[in-house]
A = this chain, B = another copy of it.
Amino acid sequence: MKKGIIPAVTGLVAGVLASTVFFASTDVGPRSDANTSSTTKTNAEKVYVPFGEQDEYYLFASGGHSGQMFIYGVPSMRHIRTVPVFSQDSATGWGWSKESLELLGDYTWGDLHHPAFSETNGDYDGKWMFATDVANSRAAVMDLKTFTVKDIIEVPNTSGPHCAMFVTENTEYMFLPTRFSVPLGSAYASLDEYSSKYYGVMSAVQFDEEKEKLSIAWQVALPPWSYDLSDAGKGPSHGWAVVTTYNTEEATTNLEINASQADRDFIVLFNWKELEKMVAEGQYEEVNGQKIIFPSKHKGGIYLVPVAKSPHGVDVTPDGTRFIASGKLAPALTVFSFEKAFKAIENQEFSGEKYGIPILNYESVMEREVNPENALGPLHTQFDDKGMAYTTMFISSEIVKWDPNTGETLDRVPVQYSPGHSVAAEGDTVSPDGKYIVALNKIAKDSYLSVGPSHPESMQLIDLSGPKMEVIQSAPVNPEPHYAQMIKADKIKTIEVYDKDPNNPYAVYSQDQTRIERKGNEVHVYGIAMRSKFIFDAKAKRPDVIEVNEGDKVFVHLTNIDFDEDITHGFAINQYNLNIEVQPGQTSTVEFTANKAGTYPLYCTNFCSALHQEMSGYLLVKPKN
């Protein structure tokens, strides 16, 4: 065992942890749980937001393989909205409207893992929300004025950007380290050639706020390992970023055992300012249309820091001086010092290299190993307004509060059960709020009314304002949040209606502009939706009827001319498998081929008025023969 590395849980024990011991801490059901303080009246009052008042924070939780983003209010923990991102959502027509189909491309689902707010000076600015798709290597951006997605891009050469590195301090970059290593461009290559032909690529994505477009600035071809969680430096560590790795064993099968063999893996330390400079100087290769830095060839800017085996989270302290690695399979956390790291790099205190990347001496960078008694499975750390750290312990099912300055354990609270991540109020910014932390628990077990063999996950709200942490609310969650961010409610400024867009060729804002135009076998409908009717062609005998010929390609361009907050209309055609929505003032297009002759009612799917039920018409498709 390498000196100085925390004694790690052995592979065998790891296997056991994954099965038997997994529930060791959950054998005591909630009814006999000792945390009786959560039953006091005070807790009920703390989380109750009476009608006429509003929640203090928005919580944005990734929706995992639902592909969506879940929006909650805190402290009520009420689910306010699911915003469609990577997966189809018929409730909003996401994946049916032409605009959304263009963004979604060939995919009808995604695996949204880590939400990240845009930042200004290391603080959430409430303007944009970013997210990545682990399943299909995509990045997305949501506009927080409308809570709708503005752009989605595919990121080639990677496979499974498990963790957006959150954004850098001024949203210069969003980093996407890949979870899985693959040959560049996902080319075919035998796993026998894993170490030579597979890469773990880290992508630097940029966002153009003006154009509302994402783009890939450059990529780094890393060793064929798995890259897990990450964080961006701040203040004194501005320009740097950290990423955890596992499977530095380069196992190609049965990772459960084989990727847990070595006592240590690495944290990758990026000097992104330096990498940016290298790209500007042409130190990269062009592969599949991307600028890729190969560290063995283009030296400098990337370093490895040894860390206890298979770490999960790595989190930069609010003051930007330290980064804290969670052990996952080790019983402890490691506090590293950026200052020490910078000095070690300057002094070239390297213990060797891997794939041409220098390895820093563990002792030169490590500041402290922290090992709260009997705490098992540290995964992820958040911070409060005093700089104190809160770490989720997956296996011992608790959150441990501790002091990064001393390593001292300050408080512990059991959560139910198996927390993955946690999110504190603005807890990964330069100025966390304290007040609240939410445990994102993977297992709900008997916390809620049963909904079958598969249960919801669970979020538990913990009050940080008293002398002891206290769980004050438990909220079930749809599958499956991985990470979340919590922002002060007053930072987000939504619009009430969409402005008229004089440049949109498909928008019509008055009845006399409505029309149905035919070009060959293409039919373009320029229609409006208003309380409580559709008008596709005001001059027609039946303005709410669309008549086409079998085989026609039909484009319905629909504008909602009710410029009233919350008056959204829907548009569906029976048996034509389509539904879109138009929010107040919005124009949207749906395209379909009229391949079924016959008579098909069309109707408003989004309740809009007392006469919503009457807001209908017909699509008549004249048979070919």
Within 8 A of B (CB), among A546-580: 564-566, 568, 570, 572, 574-575, 577, 579
Given contacts A585-B453, A603-B160, contact A137 B574 (CB under 8 A): yes
Residue A471 CB within 8 A of the other chain: yes
Given contacts A544-B254, A616-B180, contact A54 B449 (CB under 8 A): yes
Complex-state Cα separation, A453 to B498, whole angstroms: 7
Given contacts A30-B52, A188-B623, A618-B191, contact A607 B109 (CB under 8 A): no
Complex-state Cα separation, A586 to B478, whole angstroms: 20
Residue A122 CB within 8 A of the other chain: no
Within 8 A of B (CB), among A421-449: 442-449
Residue A19 CB within 8 A of the other chain: yes
Residue A81 CB within 8 A of the other chain: yes
Residue A239 CB within 8 A of the other chain: no
List residues of chain B with CB within 8 A of the CB of A564: 23
Query: How many chain A residues touch B (Cβ–Cβ < 8 Å)?
Result: 174
List residues of chain B with CB within 8 A of the CB of A395: 610
List residues of chain B with CB within 8 A of the CB of A603: 160, 180
Residue A236 CB within 8 A of the other chain: no
Q: Which stretch from A41-49, A164-172, A270-278 is at the chain B interface? A: A41-49
Given contacts A50-B39, A453-B495, A606-B479, contact A574 B180 (CB under 8 A): yes
Residue A323 CB within 8 A of the other chain: no
| Residue in A87, A394, A574, A575 whose Cβ sees the most chain B Cβ within 10 Å | A574
Please encode chain A, from 604 to 615, with 1 for each CB lying within 8 Å of some chain B CB and 0 for all others.
Answer: 011101110111
The contact sample of 26 A-B pairs, CB cut-off 8 A, is A14-B611, A17-B611, A22-B531, A38-B52, A47-B48, A51-B460, A51-B471, A58-B449, A77-B78, A78-B475, A80-B448, A81-B476, A83-B451, A88-B88, A91-B478, A136-B574, A179-B601, A179-B613, A186-B575, A188-B621, A191-B545, A253-B541, A256-B533, A328-B610, A395-B610, A480-B607
Q: What 4 A-B pairs have minimum CB-CB distances, sorted nearest first?
A: A90-B109, A44-B48, A180-B601, A66-B91
User: Could you list 8 further interchain pairs (A-B, Cβ under 8 angstroms) beyond the known A15-B611, A18-B531?
Assistant: A30-B52, A66-B91, A67-B91, A87-B88, A96-B109, A188-B598, A188-B621, A479-B606
